[in-house]
A = this chain, B = another copy of it.
Amino acid sequence: MTAPEPTRERILAAAEELFAEKGFDATPTSRIAARAEVPKGLVHYYFARKADLLEALVERLPRERIDRAAVVVPGDVEASLCRLVAVLDALLDSSAVLSHLLWREADTHPAVRDALHQRFDALVAEIRAVLAESGATGDVDSAAMLLASAVSYRHSVFRHAAVESAARTDMTPELRFLAAGLTSSAPARPGPA
């Protein structure tokens, strides 16, 4: 009744850190073993191939659910967006290493790539739901798509704290702009022409 697989978990945690720090290719399994403080052979005992570590990490990805009740301010689209972005920022930061990792390895590992796309689509859906519940009218789909892009971009590129850039500032102006487009009597998104 002890923790079920402490060693296997320690190995995964070490791999997650190192992959995020240096990338998959630049991380030797020996270093993973060292950081996990397990003998080298044990890594390959649990994960026969190095790529298996990556897939296990992807499967372990938390399915981040947003508590929409705590985010939506009915009737106030802008306030809802602000609270949503705050929650998303916190969520994405909490699994920052994993997200980071996904971006880097998406090209060469199909499993990772698929997970990444899936996450983006889930994010768009989440934003759309918040907009709808907060009473947004107009082209909710486009706004959701734009916001999802901006949020994802921030978290994928501007993860280097040292860098100052136009995009590193807070997003309230953009949110206000989006909200403005969704509050007036704007037309809904037209179907694909």
Contact = CB atoms under 8 A, between A and B. Distances in A.
Interface stretch (A21-29, A67-75, A78-86, A88-96): A21-29
Interface in A116-151: 116-117, 120-121, 124, 138-139, 141-143, 145-150
Given A107-B23, A181-B180, A145 B166 contact: yes
Given A120-B167, A167-B124, A146 B177 contact: yes
B139 A176 contact: yes
Contacts of A147: 146
Given A146-B146, A166-B124, A173 B22 contact: no
Q: How many copies of this chain sit in the oligomeric assembly?
A: 4
A65 B146 CA distance: 24
Interface string A145-178: 1111110111011001001011101001110111
A190 interface: yes
Chain A contact patch, size range: 35 or more
A165 B106 CA distance: 15
Question: For the complex, would chain A's binding face be called helix, strand, loop or mixed by DSSP majority?
Answer: helix
A16 to B, nearest CB: 15
A139 B190 CA distance: 24
Closest CB pairs A-B (n = 5): A25-B25, A142-B177, A149-B150, A149-B153, A181-B181
12 contacts: A23-B23, A26-B108, A103-B157, A106-B160, A113-B163, A142-B174, A146-B147, A146-B150, A146-B174, A152-B157, A169-B192, A173-B189
